[in-house]
Chains A and B, each alone.
Chain A
Amino acid sequence: MTRILALVLTLAVALTATPALAQDTLEKIRSTGALTIGTRTGSPPFAYVNKNNEWVGFSIDLVEQLIKPEVEKAVGKAIKVEKKESTPPTRIPLLSSNSVDLIAGTMTDTPQRRETVDFSLTFFYTGAQFLVKKGSPIKGVNDIAGKRIASQQASTNAKILREKYPQAQLREFPDQPAAFQALLQGQVDAFTNDGIQLAGLKSKAPNPGDWEIVGDFYSEEPYGMAMRKGDAKFKAAVDAGLKKGFESGKYFEIYDKWFGPKGELPYPMTPQVKAYLLKQIGK
């Protein structure tokens, strides 16, 4: 028994020790020549694999066109951007273990998460809604009692539903495609997620007209890019990239490319959202 105890303790120590290896992110990028981002493969149009099998998206463009030049300036040499898959349950551990340097996907900036990671300026603003079959009795968050609602595991939406609407039967899936499949087949009555992500899924559905997005935002979801806590120099470079993008209008060009009338997913920016984004840089 003593031996087993010793083994357990060794394991605990090993787990405790590994992530504490301190490393300056900019230093790491300089030595490896690469900025490694954790992003998604199935969250169109933020980050997904498109029909030509290319890994693209709005969040990825922001990194490549706005943040990469600033990071290059900070490290004083050309770098490349490397992408790794990260899901809600894996993204903070990936960051803590130095596997990735920046989470650029669809991560909501929350106070709890801020205790563990740092967030960049907000680069997108949305809120939770429901995707349902056309004509469904569910019209918003007040109609979900007793209904089977799919959500994404470890997401902010699931947390809110569990706390504030416990009458709903919550079914949590690890990724969007599985949750959407459950909705398509009737395992669940609605799928809740951030409105913009539902719009992305709906546009990819076999018959987009059969589905509708309902309800007012029942949560606020400002998206930020997450990085290891307390690395002020790296955070400054990331924020500078986004800030310059807002100032020069380049950010809005990229927004237009993905969400404009001819974009992957037309989703015009409301004046409130624009004001919210610009307020961050004091405009």
Chain B
Amino acid sequence: MNYTFKWSVLWSGQSGQWLLQGLVTTLELSALAWVLAVALGILSGALRTVPFRPLRWGATFYVEFFRNVPLLVWMFFWYFGVPPLLPRVAQDWVFNHGAEFWAGTIALGVYHGARMSEVIRSGIGAIPRTQFEASVAMGLTTFQAYRLVILPVALRLIVPPGTNESLNLLKNSSVALTISVAELTFQTRQIETYTAKAIEALTAGTLIYLVLCLSIATIMARVERHYAIPGLISRAKAG
């Protein structure tokens, strides 16, 4: 067959502008969702290890419920399922003020929060129980022991799996196009609509995601080295 490549479609017309807009939307969506995911992850990850049982149950329910349903379903849930619960006036207001974007952010953040929670729980699990006991013996309350001793150590331990999860979040932001968020993948399709050159557009999208993820991975590798606790992360010297 004859498929003629025409890479110029990527910089002629409005393509460059669309890709840039898509990139900005992807970054905004991912950054906000990441903040939400980390906050929910730390909270629920810590709650899953506390001595008080009902709190553990609540956190376990959140994690298992949200991580075991596909992200696509959560996108539809937050976009189609939640707004009808609001009064009509509020619905109209939300629909006129970027409901798609916020539904996408919440879906992504809450879903990845559940996954992040497991990462943080495993970090806490890696800290010897005696550290918690020693903190309490020194007169700290449970909350203080978590805030001052357990979490600071756990967060430094989980940088590598945390990076992995963050990259997943960034790439999963593309699912938001199903609820009409004009992010990067959406814009590559847009270029395809205008030019009928799908392979070129998809390649551009692929390269942008690749560069984005590689940059984040590089930065995080530095963070990891900088915050590594000697004796707890063996890669500290090797890396």
Give A contacts to B, CB under 8 Å. 4, 8, 11-12, 15-16, 19-23, 25, 88-89, 92-93, 96, 98, 110, 112-113, 115-117, 148, 150, 153-156, 158-159, 169, 171-174, 178, 181-182, 185-188, 228-231
Contacts and interface: CB of A to CB of B under 8 A. Distances in A.
B180 A171 contact: yes
Given A98-B1, A116-B197, 4 more contacts: A15-B199, A96-B199, A169-B96, A228-B3
8 contacts: A21-B1, A25-B1, A153-B180, A171-B180, A178-B76, A181-B80, A185-B84, A231-B1
Given A155-B193, A159-B193, A185 B80 contact: yes
Interface of B: 1-5, 76, 79-80, 83-84, 91-92, 95-96, 99-100, 177-180, 182, 186, 189-190, 192-199, 202-203, 206-207, 210, 214
A96 B1 contact: yes
Nearest to B2: A230
A117 B2 CA distance: 9
B210 A8 contact: yes
Contacts of B80: 181-182, 185, 187
Given A174-B178, A187-B79, A229 B196 contact: no
Nearest to A25: B1
Contacts of A12: 203
A125 B182 CA distance: 30
Contact of A228 (B2, B189, B199): B2
Given A154-B190, A155-B193, A20 B3 contact: yes
Nearest to B178: A174
Contact of B100 (A8, A116, A171): A171
Contact of B192 (A92, A187, A188): A92
A8 B207 contact: yes
A178 B214 CA distance: 34
A159 B198 contact: no
Nearest to A178: B178
A159 B178 CA distance: 18
Given A92-B196, A187-B83, A229 B1 contact: yes
Contacts of B100: 171
A150 B97 CA distance: 15
The list of the 3 closest CB pairs from A to B, nearest first, reads: A228-B1, A116-B196, A230-B2
A96 B197 CA distance: 10
Contacts of A116: 3-4, 196-197
A258 B170 CA distance: 45
